[in-house]
Amino acid sequence: MILELLGVKINYPYSKKNFEKDLESMLQTKDKKFIFTVNPEFIVDSVNDSLFKKILNKGFFNSADGIGVVFALEYQEHLKAGKSRIDAIKVLLRDYLKGSITSKRLTGVEISEKIFEFSNKNYKNIFLLGGDSRKLVSEKLLIDLERKYPNINFIGASSSFSSKPNDDSKTIEYINNCLKSKGQKKIDFILVGYGHPYQEKWIERNHAKMPANVFIGVGGTFDFLSGSIKRAPKLIQKIGLEWLFRLIMQPSRFKRIYKAVVTFSYLIITKIKHKRF
């Protein structure tokens, strides 16, 4: 099912068991496909950036990445069903305490891991682009992934290029050279980790310039998988408070957290209308 949240389409609710089949269908068509992981910041920024919203709505698969997005979608559906705002919030709190809210997320880390597992099983190839250039995150992650997934043909990895348009030609040239050196003509999956909205805009500008099937915006996934940034303990992830853990570990993220929690909540409360019968 596809729902809209403040004008951004999201595949929700979604059974994670179907993801492998969806990956297969993406690779079987000639059209290039995009996967975007929509979190509260995406929604806030899309309200003020029409280009970003337009790009997101080109996504073949947009996941609900973040407990805030799941809360908002569930809240919206309760209002559409005629519940009052208070009753909708009561139901959400009940479901949250039961643990049925956080399980409906599909994060960038989960999507990346599922793509690696699928590619290892089916001998697909992958390119990693982005991550912290100072730490050579993508390059270091590639070494670990090659050990863990021996059947994947990793075309290459680079965190040396920026997401700025004036770097595009050098980035494309590098990727094409990697393809030639590997004796390959196409890339099955390109994971782009520039953070939003830069990675989505990079994909929009460059997807037609290279022989690749599926483009995925993965945000800070490379940092987490490489261990460059510590992820919250499993229990914190399970209860949907990973954002709070990151704020404690990185106080410099205060503005981003404020946007994702306060600004996002304000938009949801003020812009989603209650359906009256």
Is the predicted pLDDT of residue 225 greater than 80, yes or no?
yes
Could you tell me which residue, 132 or 232, shows the higher pLDDT?
132
Could you tell me which residue, 214 or 235, shows the higher pLDDT?
214
Is residue 36 a contact partner of residue 59, using CB atoms and an 8 Å limit? yes
Cα–Cα distance between 195 and 217 in angstroms, integer? 8
At 277 the pLDDT is 41
Is residue 137 a contact partner of residue 226, using CB atoms and an 8 Å limit? yes
H-helix or E-strand spanning residue 61: strand 61-64
Is the predicted pLDDT of residue 211 greater than 90, yes or no?
yes
Mean pLDDT of 22-43: 95
Is the predicted pLDDT of residue 219 greater than 80, yes or no?
yes
Query: Treating both helix axes as pointing N-terminal to C-terminal, what angle do 264-271 and 67-80 enclose, rounded to 10 degrees?
Result: 10
Residue 115 Cα distances to 31, 57, 127, 248, angstroms: 19, 21, 12, 30
At 39 the pLDDT is 96
> In the chain, pLDDT over 90 holds for what percent of residues?
78
Peptide bond into 197 cis (omega under 30): yes
Which long-range contacts does 252-257 make (Cβ < 8 Å, 24+ apart)? 256/41
Looking at every residue in the chain, the average pLDDT score rounds to: 92
Q: What is the pTM of this model?
A: 0.93
Phi/psi-derived region of residue 107, left when phi > 0, alpha when psi is between -120 and 50, beta in every other case:
beta
At 264 the pLDDT is 96
Is the predicted pLDDT of residue 134 greater than 80, yes or no?
yes
At 147 the pLDDT is 97
Label residue 232 by pLDDT band (50, 70, 90). confident
Mean pLDDT of 103-128: 96
pLDDT digits (tens, 9 = 90+) for 54-95: 999 999 999 999 899 999 999 999 999 999 999 999 999 999
**Residue 154: phi, psi to the nearest 5?**
-80, 115
Is the predicted pLDDT of residue 4 greater than 70, yes or no?
yes
- Secondary structure of residue 59 in the 3-state scheme: coil
At 165 the pLDDT is 96
Label residue 205 by pLDDT band (50, 70, 90). very high
Look at the block and give the residue holding tokens 């075309």: 155
What's the DSSP call for residue 262?
I
At 239 the pLDDT is 78
- Residue 98 bridge partners (DSSP): none
